[in-house]
Amino acid sequence: MPPRKIRQQTDDNSDSGDEKVDAVPSPAPVLMSGDQLSSLLAAFSKSQAEANRQLVESLWASHGLGSGSKFTTPIVSPPPTPTSNMAKCTARFDGVTRDPEAVEAFIDSVEVYKECACVSDDIALRGLPMLMEGEAAIWWRGVRNEVSSWPDALKRLRAMYGVPRPAHKVFRDVFSSEQGDELADSFIVRIRAMLSRLPYQLPEEARLDIIYGLLHKRIRKRLPRDGVSDIETLIEKSRMVEESLVECTAALNIPPQPHKSLPTVFGERSSAPDVTSIHIVMINIL
């Protein structure tokens, strides 16, 4: 029976084909260590970043900015933090003295702290009563409801306690102050501050003449007026003169020596120093 034989051969061929397909081995799994995996991820990230950079450069080039341009992020200063306040400010004002310089010194200290601590105007206005004492605190309690801003508070403070004195009263204060036992540098600085209260500006030469004329004669005797050209030079040279006077005075304080007698024709002569000569030297120094 020929047809049956052919069918049998066909079945045999199909069975042999299935066996060949089943005989193909499956691929083995790829094993990688942790270091190799990290290296692979790093390389992938680097290639991705490079691709992104090229894409950004191409976009910038298409807008006419050039491939060499770099994108820079603007630096924005941080805003004042809500915790910034006037609690740690050490400046105080009591309003006892109606000296404009004292008011300006207080305002300068508060402004410097406010700027360094990044305190806003509203917080500074709310914390201003903590910096006032005595009469100034009482005055602030009466006007605080009328003050609406920080500049307004400073304006009212200057108007109340910083009223400038007339020029003739300033000159009376200046010329009634002559140097006594006060150090020269401190005296010059104090007189210069008093002259700065004038409602107008004096020339440098005029201020220098006034301050020099008020110095003690022990300094004017050793420091001619022509030897100084400005107030800073006067401060420096006056300090040097006082230091030299202190050294000379210290040199005259010689410890007492044992009394010795020198033989002479008429007897013995004392070798003790002459008190009159020391007194003359002291007069010359002063």
Q: How many domains does the chain have?
A: 2
- pLDDT confidence of residue 197: 81
Residues 183 and 155 in one domain: no
CB-CB contact of 155 with 116 (8 Å): no
| CA 194/CA 175 separation, integer angstroms | 10
pLDDT at 125: 92
pLDDT, residue 38, reads: 73
Q: Are residues 207 and 140 in the same domain?
A: no
Q: Are both 144 and 172 inside the same structural domain? A: no
Same-domain pairing of 191 and 122:
no
Both 146 and 172 in one domain: the answer is no
Domain that holds residue 217: 167-252
Question: Mean pLDDT over residues 38-60, rounded?
Answer: 80
pLDDT per position as a tens digit, 119-170: 999 999 999 999 999 999 999 999 999 999 999 999 999 889 887 778 998 8
Answer yes or no: is 45 within a domain: no
- 228 and 209 in a common domain: yes
Does the pLDDT at position 40 exceed 50? Answer: yes
In sequence order, the β-bridge partners of residue 268 are: 263
* 205 CB-near residues (< 8 Å, 6+ apart): none
Q: How many residues would you count in the chain?
A: 286
Q: Is residue 92 part of a domain?
A: no
| pLDDT tens digits, one per residue of 73-97 | 445 555 545 568 888 899 999 988 8
My answer on whether 196 and 148 are in the same domain is no
